[in-house]
Amino acid sequence: MRLGIFFVAAGTVAGVTPAVVSSSHASHDRATVQDKEKVAGEDQGEEEEEEEAPVDYLGIKAQSGQPMSAGLITLARRQAERIATGDASKPWQFVGGTNIGGRVIDMAIDPTTSPSTVYAAVSSGGVMKSTDGGVNWKPAYPTNAQQAMGAMARGSDGTLWAGTGEANPSGGGDTFMGDGIYKSSDGGDSWQQAGLQDSGAFGRIAVNPKDASDVWAAATGSLSWSSGQRGLYHLTNGGKDWKLSLAPTNKTTGAIDVAIDPANPKIILASLWDRSRNDGAFMYGGTGSGLYRSTDGGATWTRQDNSTINGPVCSWDQTKSGLNTDADLGRIGIAFAPSDPNRVYIQFAGANGPDKGFYVSNDAGKTWTCGGGEPGSVTGGYEWVFGRLWVDPADENHLFSADVSLKESSNGGNSWSNSSGPHSDHHAMVWDPNEPGKVYNGDDGGVYYSTQNGATRTWTKAKVEPWIQSYHLAVSQQDSSRLASGLQDNGSVRTWTPGAEPTDLTQVNSYGGGDGHWVQIDPNNQLVYYACSQPSPPRISCQRTVDDAATGSTSSTRTSFSSPAWPSDTRITTDMPIVLDPADPEYVYVAGTSIARSAKGAVNGTDAWKLISPATPDSPESLPGKIPANEVNPDLYYANEYGAVTQIAPAKTTGTSTSPSSTIYAGTDTGKVWKSTNANSDNPTWTQLGKGVLPQRWVTSLVADPTNADHVYASFSSYREGDLAANVWESNDGGATWTNISGNLPNAPVWMVTYDQAHNQLYVGTDYGVFNLKNGKKNWERLGSQLPNCPVLDVKLSADGGTVFAATFGRGVYQLHVKD
């Protein structure tokens, strides 16, 4: 059976019989997740399914020639597990941090314990559990299972349901897909695969409060390819046979929310969401989006349009299209009021993000009235990240709306204010039935709780949260306990206090804001270090910090970078690189459309920088399929962030202790690799390498051998283009010829290549762990054991190559001692 995709089409209007989708299930022990059944296409010998043509929406294609399927995620995980481990007796050790936290997607609570046990679904970090009322948290999910999370719920019988794959799409970053729904009947000690493996991501799971075997799952589908299981699925026997109750109308639409009437579970509200993205564009709304209502337990559905609205549509709906079918209709969030089930609230966004409407119903969702106030931020512009509403179970007029700031209303939405105190970007809330007035909040900073019903400035942050989303990592070459990392929405952090030695590696402290990205520590002087956050083109957002060398001093000097003299139309990728020249680290490189190098020891002032490359020729408008034809709305794509340099690799042997490298390799997000051998001249020239040979994929890393400028490695990813193939390439002649050395790596993106020249070891970070290639051998080995199965975006080494550090995007930083 070929690894293709299929799309189940069932009716979405009244009177249409739902299709039945049978999903494989799995057997597990308490420590691991082990699938007993085969993935489609893996040694089954079944009759071939007819392949569907690759989806081509906003240029999204399966460029390898094979349509994407979320089932390939399960297959890739199995491939990774089957690769031999070099030394399985050596487990990875958690480094930290535990006091920062990261994005929490959903929450559930067990009211049978005291204090209540609380569960948190972490964006790409599995399920976490607190048994002391939200103060301390620990993992409650197998490390070898897919860690990306999208939704979570608990039934009245105690069964926990977790939907893998995050449905909250990012702007410039990545969200990761999953491999179906998992359930636990023992409080998270063990989990079983419960079906819908080809669903990609989940927006919500809802359990009938009167019947724990009655479960609903909003399968959102993958973001960049057409996964087979999209729409609203229904489970009535607590087992494995999910029925597709509400199907989407096209391949880019899935279900994003579902809510059950607590008084009459036959009444169900659900929303579908049309969305997709590729490397250069996103469309987070479309004609497939819509609100649906069923009064017969999901047997039939009626689409709610403007005919169900009493009075005019909300005044801030610029298109005035309300709930009608419209290309601008985006994500819709739904919430019933437990104390008055006739009261329902919905909030929805336009395709480019801002609020499009907030409506109230007093007849269980049959009719709607525009609310009195706009809950979302007028200028936030990315409501597609949030899309949630929560109603106080004791007061139908007291509700919260997810946004950058947590919005609170005490009068049914007539007016709103900020509930200040927790971190920004909110995704989850749950009230504690055992402690009146206690509510938990999950956001991009982790978990917070309030004992005063969420009143402003009454929130307390959890004390121990063993998860962070790390983009990049830096390790001091004088003291490997000095680590710095750039985190998703939590700035840049370090394991030390200036002037003092690191004491507890799990307790990190911030030294930068926003989304932390690239970090560097001067390899010759660990007191000098750098950090960058997301830029605002054409400006960069970086800083250079110098700690005071005096023993015991906690002072430091911080210098923010001024932008190089880039043209006004410069584009800068969200994950803008900052690189120190390996020959002389006092020379600093940054890049946007062009590469800029600083003067020696100077980063402040536009005159401190020199452009050493022309602008990349790849503007988004020039790339077929990256932006819709004739598209004029800049909010629909990141034209100021795509078509830029993503990697810079100076060759150490071509520089000296007093001059920077003259040979430099560079890669772009458009899949091109470039080289200059005269980067120190007044007019450097650049040559494209590997034309027609190297894959046209996002360049995720470039490594120049520190002892041989002609020896270079490159890795590529086309994750956002619906292609999961691993791509690691090597050249021994300065890029004239290339060899694909991906070998037996699992079919998953490779995010980072690190080379230990002294020991001839190559390491790569992937979606399924760290792998290494020894002494030029053909087969890769999996490195160590017990590393959580979430993306490893960066891999770094201690100075002697004896310790490998892995920066995971979800479970923090880990280390492995590879040499005794």
Task: For residue 623, give both structure tokens.
Answer: 């790339």
CB atoms within 10 A of CB 52: 15
SS3 203: strand
SS3 496: coil
Would the pLDDT of 281 be above 70?
Answer: yes
SS3 77: helix
The pLDDT of 279-301, averaged and rounded, is 93
406 within 8 A of 427, measured Cβ to Cβ: no
Q: Residue 591: its pLDDT value, please? A: 96
Q: Residue 819: its pLDDT value, please? A: 85
CB atoms within 10 A of CB 503: 10
> How many helices and strands in the chain, by DSSP H and E?
1, 61
Mean pLDDT of the chain: 87
CA distance 803 to 799: 8
Would the pLDDT of 634 be above 60?
Answer: no
CA distance 426 to 106: 10
Give, in degrees to the nearest 5, the angle at Cα 177 between 176 and 180: 145
Query: pLDDT digits over 224-239, tens only?
Result: 887 789 999 999 987 7
Q: In terms of Cα–Cα distance, which of 68, 47, 54, 53 is closest to 3? A: 68
Q: Residue 720: its pLDDT value, please? A: 86
Q: Which of 37-51, 498-512, 716-730 has the lowest mean pLDDT?
A: 37-51
Exposed, middle or buried, 112 (CB in 10 Å: 0-12/13-18/19+)? exposed
Distances (CA, A) of 804 to 95, 108, 430: 12, 36, 39
Choose between 33 and 787: higher pLDDT: 787
User: pLDDT over 90 for what percent of the chain?
Assistant: 70
Q: Residue 517: its pLDDT value, please? A: 95
Query: pLDDT digits over 649-706, tens only?
Result: 999 999 998 899 999 999 999 999 999 999 999 999 999 999 999 998 999 999 999 9
Query: pLDDT digits over 37-51, tens only?
Result: 333 333 333 333 333
Q: Residue 511: its pLDDT value, please? A: 85
Would the pLDDT of 378 be above 60?
Answer: no
Say if 19-461 and 470-742 have the same CATH topology.
yes
CATH architecture of the domain covering 19-461: 7 Propeller (2.130)
CA distance 704 to 686: 16
Query: pLDDT digits over 383-432, tens only?
Result: 889 999 999 999 999 999 999 999 999 999 999 999 999 999 999 999 99
Query: pLDDT digits over 506-540, tens only?
Result: 999 888 778 999 999 999 999 999 999 988 888 89
The edge-to-edge listing of strands for the beta sheet with 595-598 is: 578-580, 588-591, 595-598, 609-611
Domain boundaries, the chain: 19-461, 470-742
CA distance 634 to 657: 45
Q: Which of 151-165, 166-180, 619-633 has the lowest mean pLDDT?
A: 619-633
Beta bridge partners of 731: 712
Give, in degrees to the nearest 5, the angle at Cα 500 between 494 and 503: 65
CB atoms within 10 A of CB 656: 12
Q: Residue 535: its pLDDT value, please? A: 87
Would the pLDDT of 579 be above 60?
Answer: yes
Q: Which of 76-80, 385-389, 796-800 has the lowest mean pLDDT?
A: 76-80
SS3 90: coil
Query: pLDDT digits over 97-147, tens only?
Result: 999 999 999 999 999 999 999 999 999 999 999 999 999 999 999 999 999
CA distance 260 to 207: 8
pLDDT band, very low/low/confident/very high, at 462 (cuts 50, 70, 90) = very high
Distances (CA, A) of 446 to 132, 505, 793: 16, 19, 20
Our measurement of the distance from residue 435's CA atom to the centroid of its chain's CA atoms, rounded to an integer in Å, reads 33
CA distance 109 to 100: 22
CATH architecture of the domain covering 470-742: 7 Propeller (2.130)
